[in-house]
Amino acid sequence: MRKPVSPVVGQRCLLVAALSLASFGLLTSCTEPPPKGAAAEHARPTQSFAQWRDGFRVQALAAGITAQTFDRAFAGIEPDDSVVTADRSQPEFTRPVWQYLDSAVSAARVRNGQDRALENADVLQRIEATYGVDREAVVAIWGMESNFGQQMGSKNVIRSLATLGYEGRRPDFGREQLIAALQIIQHGDVPASNMIGSWAGAMGQTQFIPTTYNRYAVDFDGDGRRDIWGSSSDALASTANYLKSSGWRRGQSWGFEVRLPQGFDYAQADMDIRKPMSEWLRQGVRVASGNLPSAPQASVSLLLPAGYRGPAFLITDNFRTILSYNNSTSYALAVGLLADSFKGGGQLAGSWPVGDTPLSRSERIELQQLLATRGYQPGTADGIIGANTRKAIRSFQQSIGVPADGYASTQLLSRLRAT
């Protein structure tokens, strides 16, 4: 938004997409990309925390933070070992997309979201009019990130970020976010004691990291403070402001489920491939249920979250905007389906390959290594099935004459081991 944290201008999810599948979507949200080499061996600090804190104090004061603000915020702060543990964790197993969606778009969450939308109807109407972002999408993110404000994290954000800045694995991220957090405190939006969030520094009802907060948080209820913790109006409007800045198009669907014709070229299931709706229709792609969405000439891409044997979706730029909030296709799909469910939709016509056993992290790394050995250039063997790995998988699939959907499966790994 748990998978620990969740703006245009490149702000992205702190945890990689693999982690976002590992522990369903509360406290996930807007943050920066994971640092390069995030899976590398941890570098131990070479100085005491007190020495690090004193050095960082000089940097903070040079950045405009007052001595009073700094000293109050850091009073009694010591490193948090649980933050270090969470930061270094690399889950071996992740949940497949269908299990993720079962939790994300549960009947209870849909009902809760519908109730919250009714309770906040006036505010949501004003937010929609101000930012041009559909209220259902904003409420869906609210539900995904904090269960509608019920689970915002319990850690002191200053302590968490100081730990990240000190312990050596992501010091640049920790220091940048700490400066931003101190700016928030100095601005008077929230006292340090109330700045509570996730271990990775994501805060409030829709889980902004401090730099994202400083860019996009707004005082929508007019009380003089941007309070994304205690004011749902501020939290929801801030999220809408972020989505608008990231390119949200009002009234455009995030995407829709489709049926693919026999003999379809599954290699076209690539988010880098964008075509007008008319071109997909010409190839025999059909909407799975309901009417053809508006703007039929819009440029859309084909998504196969579970390969050619699972449901297929055509996704729009609004789906990409959700990805800017959390760079996981499973997360963006959950937000879209949850938003649709608030309006009575969200049900899928296709079925998931529930008999598939998802690859473990070790197996994903092995798959990438085998692809590289065979010259397919999947990128770094980090266990993250990203664009380069999917491209390499498609090339291998084409070479052995199977549907080139770019999907990493146990069957694919077996074929690689055998070749």
Which sequence spans correspond to the domains of the chain?
A: 255-342, 361-418
Cβ proximity of 254 and 336 under 8 Å? yes
Indicate if the pLDDT at residue 248 is higher than 50. Answer: yes
Indicate if the pLDDT at residue 354 is higher than 70. Answer: yes
Report, as an integer, the average pLDDT of 9-29.
Answer: 39
More confident residue, 30 or 107: 107
pLDDT in tens, 302-339: 999 999 999 999 999 999 999 999 999 999 999 999 99
CA distance 376 to 392: 5
Amino acid 22: pLDDT: 36
Amino acid 6: pLDDT: 43
DSSP 148-187: TTT----EEHHHHHHHHHHHSSSHHHHHHHHHHHHHHHHH
pLDDT in tens, 53-70: 999 999 999 999 999 999
Cβ proximity of 296 and 60 under 8 Å? no
Amino acid 46: pLDDT: 84
pLDDT in tens, 179-221: 999 999 999 999 999 999 999 999 999 999 999 999 999 999 9
| Closest C-alpha among 303, 384, 305 to residue 99 | 305
Class of domain 361-418: mainly alpha
Report, as an integer, the average pLDDT of 12-39.
Answer: 40
Can you point out the beta strands (E) in 260-311? 275-276, 286-287, 299-303
Indicate if the pLDDT at residue 9 is higher than 50. Answer: no
